Amino acid sequence: TERARTAVFYSISNTQRGLGGISFGSFLIKQVVEELRRELPKLENFVTLSPVPDFMRWLKQADDVPVTEEDRTLLENLEKPDWFTNPELAAQLRSVLEPLAAHYFLKARTPKGRLIDSVARFHLGNGARLERINWLGDVSPKGLRESAGIMVNYLYRLEDIEKNHEAYANQGEIAASQAVKRLLRGEGRRLLDMRLP
């Protein structure tokens, strides 16, 4: 443990709806980071492994999901309970879903202009950077139902937290890694009205 450089937070959330808008999570993150750094001074990276609870709802209901007709047909396979166990099908779906996930985080908004994903709003609002989209990170029934198995990493880099928070709070700017931005640039899809069954 003395050589540890990275700490991973698996689940951090505001648990009481009535406390929305009060940033207990931010306080908790900062407190845990400070305590961990006292115990393990070589820690440099603090990341989460986070769910994407609203991705499939957006994919099924949004009018501006960037997909082709071919993609739409392929995405119907997500209704099969064991689609992820077929390597060829999973690879085809990955090529469509990862760029869609990047679009979901970087471009998709509610009618009021907010990020759709509540977990993303929490972490980005606390100064994290969207670091990585993890394909098949959660293949539990809930993970498949809510996010097609996708999970993400948010990176808390101490020297960037304040800058990222200010950019998000004041301009709605999302801090994202080049890897996530490349996925978005690679989407190259027409905007079609897509509603899955």
Query: In sequence order, which ranges of 63-160 are alpha helices (DSSP H)?
Result: 69-75, 87-106, 118-125, 141-147
Tokens of 19: 């406390």
Alpha-carbon distance of 172 to 194, in angstroms, equals 26
Written as tens digits, the pLDDT of the chain (197 aa) is 678 888 888 765 544 454 455 555 566 677 777 888 888 888 888 999 999 999 999 999 888 788 889 999 999 999 998 999 999 999 999 999 999 999 999 999 999 989 999 999 989 998 999 999 999 999 999 999 999 999 999 999 888 988 999 999 999 999 999 999 999 866 544 333 333 43
Alpha-carbon distance of 195 to 2, in angstroms, equals 51
The answer for 144, left when phi > 0, alpha when psi is -120 to 50, beta otherwise, is: alpha
| Residues designated as active site | 50, 123
Cβ burial 124-157 (10 Å sphere, 16+ → b, else e): bbbbbbbbbbbbbbbeeeebbebbbbbbbbbbbb
Q: Domains plus CATH for the chain?
A: 23-185 (3.40.630.150)
Alpha-carbon distance of 5 to 56, in angstroms, equals 34
